[in-house]
Amino acid sequence: MIDLKFLRENPEIVKQNIKNKFQDRKLPLVDEVIELDAKSRAAKGEADALRADRNKFSKQIGILMSQGKKEEAEEMKKKVTAASAHLAELEALEGELSEKITKIMMVIPNIIDPSVPIGKDDSENVEVQRYGEPVVPDFEIPYHTEIMEKFNGIDLDAARDVAGNGFYYLMGDIARLHSAVISYARDFMIDRGFTYCVPPFMIRSNVVTGVMSFDEMDAMMYKIEGEDLYLIGTSEHSMIGKFIDKIIQEDELPKTLTSYSPCFRKEKGAHGIEERGVYRIHQFEKQEMIVVCKPEDSKMWFDKLWQNTVDLFRSLDIPVRTLECCSGDLADLKVKSVDVEAWSPRQKKYFEVGSCSNLGDAQARRLKIRINGKDGKYFAHTLNNTVVAPPRMLIAFLENNLNADGTVNIPKVLQPYMGGKTLIK
Q: 122-424, which class in CATH?
A: alpha beta
Mean per-residue pLDDT, 197-225: 89
Q: Quick check: 351 pLDDT over 80? A: yes
Q: Do 4-105 and 122-424 fold alike per CATH?
A: no
Query: 363-408, pLDDT tens digit by residue?
Result: 999 999 999 999 999 999 999 999 999 888 999 999 999 999 999 9
Q: Quick check: 271 pLDDT over 60? A: no
- DSSP labels for 263-299? EE---TT-S-TTSSSSSS-SEEEEEEEEEEE-GGGHH
Domain regions of the chain by residue span: 4-105, 122-424
In three-state secondary structure terms, 190 is: helix
In three-state secondary structure terms, 107 is: coil
Q: Quick check: 124 pLDDT over 60? A: yes
Which percentage of the chain shows pLDDT scores above 90?
80
Class of residue 222 by CB neighbours under 10 A (exposed 0-12, middle 13-18, buried 19+)? middle
Q: Quick check: 221 pLDDT over 80? A: yes
Fold designation for 4-105: Helix Hairpins (1.10.287)
Mean per-residue pLDDT, 280-294: 95
- What is the pLDDT confidence band of residue 68, given thresholds at 50, 70 and 90? confident
Other beta carbons less than 10 A from residue 272's beta carbon: 11
Query: 194-205, pLDDT tens digit by residue?
Result: 999 999 999 999
> In Å, how far are 156, 178, 201 from 175, measured between CA atoms?
13, 5, 21
For 308, which DSSP code? H
